[in-house]
Amino acid sequence: MATAIFVDAGFFLKRCHTVYPGLGHGDPAAVARTLHKMCLDHLMQRGEPDRRDLYRIFVYDCPPLTKKAHTPLTKTAVDFSKTDAAKFRTAFHNELKCLRKVALRLGRLQDNDGWRLKPAILAVLLKRERLFAELTDDDFEYDVRQKGTDMRIGVDIASVAYKKQVDQVVLVAGDADFVPAAKLARREGIDFILDPMWSKIAGDLFEHIDGLRSTSPEPKRAKVQIKEQA
């Protein structure tokens, strides 16, 4: 039997800056190879002399925003398809498609057709450290939400569990949305490992997993709950 690895790419990209500070984060190929190696490192586990077989690495993300809009204050035209973020995401997805045993699953973006204040800027306004009249276009971000990625992760975990294609699942994610899928997999006899990339998880989530293990480098100043339980 083999191990199937499921990666929330949005979560990975956010944590990547913390656990891989020396990586060229603007290089899509380097970031994709780093994700691949981090996953492959899960195949060597404590107490097991041999490398486990890999069934597949499933990576979940959404395509980048490519629409045109106008900034909220100065009304300057913006083509999101030409932004560095969109170019990176597209190239990152293309690099993942070329890697061995990697399957890319794309959801969709829900366009709320407007701008919103960045959370950090809103906090500053509430503290009255800045005035609304002092805001600039850079204080806003376009309001989009990822849709379909969590559902696809759950469906694919259920599929490999019911079909008995693997005996172990590794999930790289950082929130509680995985709990129903984890419960189902464990009921089917699957060993369920969570890799939160050294981020903290809620205490009550430990009951829904069989092990906690991060194969990325531990941040030097991070306060980690449990270093390894896998």
Whether residue 192 is predicted with pLDDT greater than 90 in this model: the reply is yes
What average pLDDT does the chain have?
92
Closest Cα partner for 60 from 12, 111, 4? Answer: 12
What is the pLDDT, as a whole number, of residue 79?
Answer: 97
Q: For a pLDDT cut of 70, what percent of the chain falls above it? A: 96
User: What is this structure's pTM?
Assistant: 0.89
What is the pLDDT, as a whole number, of residue 226?
Answer: 43
What is the pLDDT, as a whole number, of residue 221?
Answer: 56
Bridge partners of 8? Answer: 60
Whether residue 223 is predicted with pLDDT greater than 60 in this model: the reply is no
What is the DSSP pairing of strand 68-70 with strand 77-79?
A: antiparallel
The residue ranking higher by pLDDT, 160 or 221, is 160
